[in-house]
Structure 1
Amino acid sequence: MGIVLLGTNGEASHLSDTERSAVIRAARQALDANGFTQIPIMAGTGTGSAKETIRLSHEAREAGADYVIVIPPGYFAFAVGRDTAALKKFFLQVLDASPLPVMIYNFPGAASGIDFDSDFLVELSEHQNCFGAKLTCASIGKGHRLSAHTSSAAYKTRHPRPFFVMPGFSDILLPALVSRASGCITGTGNIIPKTIVKLYDTAVSALTTGNAEQLEAARELQDLVADADWAVVKAGIGGTKYAMDVYVQQGLGGIPRSPLPPAPTAIQTMLASGLKRAVAYENSL
């Protein structure tokens, strides 16, 4: 368990460099002040060029981050979107120069359709400064192939640090764990964090022990989380922040920066219905 900052819901692309560093610094200070010194922070530093991504990664380390997560440069997708060599060069430059371990962020929807296949990710996983991949492409098969490669005995002899394969949606957490994934990084975790942790713990225990009752309990929790995750996906970033304000703590979510709109009435109504069961369960934990 850790904290991911400056990602999609964190509106990293809407922040100045000074604000990016301030977010990391504030989070680190809050964690340390409350006794959570062992909790790592991963910060988004991906931007339009390798040079700027590397600079932001250095600034993230100075502000207190432990890891960085890097999305491919989507603005020039029309020029490099299918140029595997160019994209590989971008990531190798970042991996070589980043002062912090790097997680690859594969999110076609936020990178103008750039979508890495498992061959590309397996190749990058061999770099000693690459420690994981977030797959917001919802591909269980891709994640399975990458997990199988990075969890093999041969890979571990070459890489002393664990490699983390993390789907970007919690509605596929259970099947992803069956396919050797490490967990998930999910915006829905901002709203029902304890429920998703309960699902993770139950699923891992069931898969470790082979206990059929625990597996069924994990399935039922996944049913609950899948419904909530879909509601949050449909609600978008404005809806996610609205839900944080209403169902977690007022003022926690806030209003997105333009051009992202706040949640309209229809989205608010949809969330009230779509999150009802999950929020009730979350509040019972």
Structure 2
Amino acid sequence: MNSPLKGVIPPMVTPLLQNLQLDVNGLENLISHLLQGGVHGIFILGTNGEGPSLGYEVRRRLIVESCRIIDGQVPVMVGITDSSWSTVIEMAHFAEQAGADYLVLAPPYYFPITQDEMIGYLEKLIPELPLPVVIYDIPGCTKLHLNLKTIQSARKLGIQALKDSSGDLGALYTIMDAFKEDPEFSIIAGAELFMSDVLMNGGHGVVAGGANIFPNLFVQLYEASINKDLETVARLRHKVLQLQNSIYMLDDSPTNSIRAIKSSLSVMGICSDQMVPPLESFPETKKKILAQRLFQLGIKENAGYENQ
């Protein structure tokens, strides 16, 4: 991969059956929906994909089936973050053999670690990994907010990109400034509302959960942002804000957006909203409200839920 990772890369949800096995039909529907929407890549086994909650058999099958269905149409990014050192390496090699293009790695969760410990971890781990690595900053789930020194050290070890889900726009601007002379390093926003700001100030793309629902909306916003079409950016950004306020805020749990995105896909008839405990899908009363709001946002297919 000589060119930077870029564009709209949905953190794909994982379609599941009631027995928590992979729903392959739902996966085919979802990938088709995303590709038809014009996305530039697909990220599996991330936060929206409930990656850390899935059994390893399901993770492996998801990797294999996703790579088979996508078949090289766009890059496939696979989350390999784990608390187990050996499992990270094992899943990395499995992803490479299945045909994935990138590995996504966050700090190992459970034990709090320092920046220096993270650098030491990467120094030992990166040489063991067979694919280009995207380092993932998501302190809300890992206890560590990667600083500039750590990211610079990771870059020297060969990582190809940063996925920033820290919510710290000031730190992100500092990182973008530090890497502005590096044409082969990608900076990918993880916060949807930061997307335009990041793209118009040297960033390369976005991993947007809402692109599971509205892939083409985010693709259009990406194109308007890189072209600095401010009028179109303002109009499309307003739609993203509506998505945040009307869909994600339907529930007040810490995982509200994850639940809302998966339930939206169920309402749209793309895949089920079965989730891995302790997460739960919305009850039918909320799904009816969700269907109404999706209809108002332009989703015409509402899988039998009446707009009333």
State the TM-score bracket (shorter-chain normalisation).
0.7 to 0.9
2:223 and 2:300 map into 1 onto residues whose CA distance is: 16
Larger RCO, structures 1/2 (Cα 8 Å, 6+ apart): 2
Kindly state the Cα deviation for residue 174 of structure 1 after the two structures are TM-superposed: 0.8
Query: What's the CA shift string for 1:60-87, capped at 9, x where partnerless?
Result: 111221111012112112xx2xx22211
1:277 and 1:126 map into 2 onto residues whose CA distance is: 48
Match of 2:257 among 228, 231, 236: 236
Match of 1:246 in 2: 267
Contact 1:104 / 1:132 at 8 angstroms: preserved in 2?
yes
SS in 2 for 1:42: strand
**Which residues of structure 1 form unaligned runs of 5+?**
157-161, 207-213
Alignment of 1:7-86 (within 5 A): 7-32=46-71, 37-77=72-112, 80=113, 83-86=114-117
> Cα distance 1:136–1:124, how it changes in 2: closer, same or farther (>3 A)?
same
Contact 1:171 / 1:227 at 8 angstroms: preserved in 2?
no
Counterpart amino acid of 1:216?
A: E
Match of 1:103 in 2: 134
1:29 and 1:172 map into 2 onto residues whose CA distance is: 32
Kindly state the Cα deviation for residue 19 of structure 1 after the two structures are TM-superposed: 1.8
Kindly state the Cα deviation for residue 277 of structure 1 after the two structures are TM-superposed: 4.7
1:55 and 1:182 map into 2 onto residues whose CA distance is: 29
1:91 and 1:64 map into 2 onto residues whose CA distance is: 23
Match of 1:163 in 2: 185
Contact 1:195 / 1:282 at 8 angstroms: preserved in 2?
no
Match of 1:263 among 269, 278, 282: 282
**Which residues of structure 2 form unaligned runs of 5+?**
1-39, 250-255, 303-308
Number of residue pairs matched? 257
Identity of matched residues, % = 25
SS in 2 for 1:279: coil
1:136 matched to 2:165? The reply is: yes
SS in 1 for 2:161: strand
2:160 and 2:301 map into 1 onto residues whose CA distance is: 31
2:109 and 2:67 map into 1 onto residues whose CA distance is: 29
1:126 matched to 2:156? The reply is: yes
> Cα distance 1:232–1:125, how it changes in 2: closer, same or farther (>3 A)?
farther
Kindly state the Cα deviation for residue 203 of structure 1 after the two structures are TM-superposed: 1.3
Alignment of 1:172-191 (within 5 A): 172-191=194-213
Contact 2:224 / 2:233 at 8 angstroms: preserved in 1?
yes
Kindly state the Cα deviation for residue 166 of structure 1 after the two structures are TM-superposed: 1.1
Give the alignment's Cα RMSD to 1 decimal. Answer: 2.3
Counterpart amino acid of 2:260?
A: G
2:300 and 2:240 map into 1 onto residues whose CA distance is: 10
Match of 2:34 in 1: none
Match of 1:117 in 2: 147
TM-score under structure 2 length normalisation: 0.76
